[in-house]
Structure 1
């Protein structure tokens, strides 16, 4: 997971040199960070969900890691907008495998009352990856100037940002084989899981729409803010506070990583305790409350004048909000029948890919342009956070009665 977010977010640290070399507009960069990745993240998720419920999940995960690593390296070879678009689409299609595959595996390893904590520990990889991408990217820009040309053994000349993509993408081809160290309980125990298709799953969704609709909507909305912040915060600190890429990478990466590493296991442990004591809607109730609290901090990030204070608030924001990464998907896996868990996770990934991953960077870019562009990036991020996060909390809250009802019927059967 850390590797996937590293490859996904590296682009946000190299926006300015790429724009300078390839002449991309703000909207084109937003499309590369969002639609190019998110659309194919969505398209890849549905067949992947089908495969995960039928074949070896480690094998499917290995294939996805290999594909997205090739896509990351291809970003370093792109010469125009459409070749860059294709490379980002390849990353998106490959990365669609990891969340659904990992969530369905974890739900086989742990009982419901102990599932939130391992889901939280796993999900730390998402924000650790975001932090690592900034830290590694920032460190590499110290060694390899993104806007300088380098002659590689007299064979090819690469711009610095191209070399960085190649260096970051290549290790994934080997790291992918770590998937085969994971045991698939379903195959190892020779379980005969009833094979069902998406038509069967949609019948379950229709019967439980009062839970599914607000649950998915709440997660997509809070995800939009997270994706928008991660994509454009490096640009915010560069344009508004005048920090260099080398300064932004380690400091912003540290803030995101520390906040998440501290927050996620803490949230998971609290909710496991709450849930085991009979609070059956604990997962979404907790996320709704923390999302509202985090809204205040999100606004403050872009309102304070000092970059040090702003970076501290970034860490505090991710500490408070990070439960959204694990708790909603945990309750979804608990409620969903075992033979449909891959599909449930993949459909959520598909929806998230189109709206959050695909639309958030472009939304921020569009709002920034509407506010005058350039220096308005801070106001744009503030406005998006203030308007979207409370709606996310409301959606989660609306799902609570349905969660209680579903858990009661599950217990009675």
Structure 2
């Protein structure tokens, strides 16, 4: 590994740098498609393999999250020492094979193991991608580039459902008719139709060139960032609320399709396309708006502004959470993207506050810790909380709406209370 002073060599040309961002943006969308498509296939998988809602929640969250969380930090360290492009390429191949493994799974145990493989492959993506982008752009342009990548992740949440719904519709129209795969269950055909092209996408990463690694730590000057006194007292609750946002996002994202299918009888393919489009607009727009609002709040309220915005956005999610339990389809279809838009503001302002409060030389570590918490708490716990609330608080006859609403409201209320010390610790 060679690290040079940041001004010793020119940065990649804008065309090459933005090509890197575009490829990584699309890779993130593919990653979320492979990760989230299972949420559209819950009921047919349950019926064929005899899995209950709690078991499905383990497949949707825990199986993926455990390895993702455990492997994320060491893979982030590896990305600081090896070719990041090649690590991402290997990751794409691994998670694609994991998706194909899900397609042929004969049992819960096999499906659980295949989901672990998906999590292992995807764990390398964001640490390596952010490192690549950081070395492709000068500091005064880097924030925009990293923001575009994070917006791609946000769009991937909704885009994955939309893509999955479109593939489900194509499979239903006879994608594999006349082949030896025609007798496969539709859910298996969907996973095959998504996993195979994703494997081929690894070749697209060959257009990405590894940029020169740069020593971007500045002791003095305009790029220096000083850690505030009592850093962990002031910023640790922000790590928590960002992780809670991830937890609730995973809970809503995992069960919202099943809510619409079970309670309102909406066709799964229609759910995928319509809900996916709404989430692209809601979550993607919320992420962009959250970044801009965070800057405005910082100008208005000083150092505490971004944390205050984070708390306000968390409280604003509560009315939308209540509407998710509505008996009206139109109300639920409105509430879900509104919730995701507000939750994206929580995430964008929270991550921005973490970066502001962390010295330059520790930002990579801070992001690795945040990603670990987001997955360990978010994907690992979120979907299971809804299943447990549905089974043990409301009962099976109540449907998914009350369980989803309770999970959102209780989680965000507790996280907002925990955020109060961080707001008091920051001075305007």
Check conservation: 1:225, 1:388, Cα contact below 8 A.
Answer: yes
Aligned ranges for residues 129-278 of structure 1 at < 5 Å? 129-145=156-172, 153-154=179-180, 157-182=183-208, 185-187=211-213, 189=214, 191=215, 208-275=231-298
Shift in Å, 1:240: 1.4
> How far is the alpha carbon of 1:41 from its aligned partner?
0.8
Query: Is 2:49 the partner of 1:19?
Result: no
CA contact (8 A) 1:75 1:165 kept: yes
Corresponding residue of 1:40: 67
In the alignment, the residues of structure 1 paired with residue 168 and residue 333 of structure 2 have an alpha-carbon distance, to the nearest angstrom, of 20
Q: Secondary structure at the match of 1:34?
A: helix
**Correspondences of 1:225-374 after superposition (within 5 Å):** 225-275=248-298, 279-303=302-326, 305-370=327-392, 371-373=394-396
Which SS does the other structure have where 1:345 is aligned? Answer: helix
Query: Does the 8 Å contact 1:69/1:173 carry over to 2?
Result: yes
Q: Is the 8 A contact 2:320 2:339 kept in 1?
A: yes
Tell me the residue number matched to 1:93.
120
Residues 309 and 346 of structure 2 are in contact (CA less than 8 Å); yes or no, is this contact kept in structure 1? no
Q: CA RMSD in A?
A: 3.0
Q: CA deviation at 1:257?
A: 1.0
Unaligned runs of 5+ in 2: 1-27, 219-226
Once residues 149 and 21 of structure 1 are traced to their aligned partners in structure 2, the CA distance between those partners, rounded to angstroms, is 21
SS in 1 for 2:325: helix
In structure 2, the CA distance between the partners of 1:270 and 1:246, relative to structure 1 (3 Å rule), is same
Cα distance in 2 between the residues matched to 1:399 and 1:186? 37
Structure 1 residue 309: deviation in Å?
Answer: 2.3
Q: Tell me the CA shift for residue 334 of structure 1.
A: 4.0
The Cα offsets for residues 85-125 of structure 1, whole Å up to 9 and x where unpaired, read as: 1111111112122222334445553648x766544432222
| CA gap 1:282/1:317 in 2 versus in 1, 3 angstroms | same
Alignment match of 1:387 (pick from 399, 403, 410): 410
262-271 vs 246-255, greater mean Cα deviation = 262-271
Q: Distance in 1 between matches of 2:74 and 2:115?
A: 19
- Aligned-pair CA distance for 1:232: 0.4
Q: What TM-score, normalized to structure 2?
A: 0.82
Shift in Å, 1:193: 8.0
How many equivalent residue pairs? 391
* Paired position in structure 2 for 1:5: 32
Question: 1:238 Cα deviation (Å)?
Answer: 1.2
1:182 CA displacement: 4.4
Deviation, structure 1 residue 73: 1.5
The one of 52, 57, 60 aligned to 2:87: 60
Note if contact 1:13-1:137 (Cα within 8 Å) is conserved in structure 2.
yes
Q: Equivalent residue of 1:158, what SS?
A: coil
Structure scoring higher RCO (CA < 8 A, sep ≥ 6) equals 1
The answer (yes or no) to whether the contact 2:162–2:274 under 8 Å persists in 1 is yes
SS of the residue aligned with 1:257? helix
Distance 2:206 2:363 in 1: 21
C-alpha displacement of 1:168: 0.7
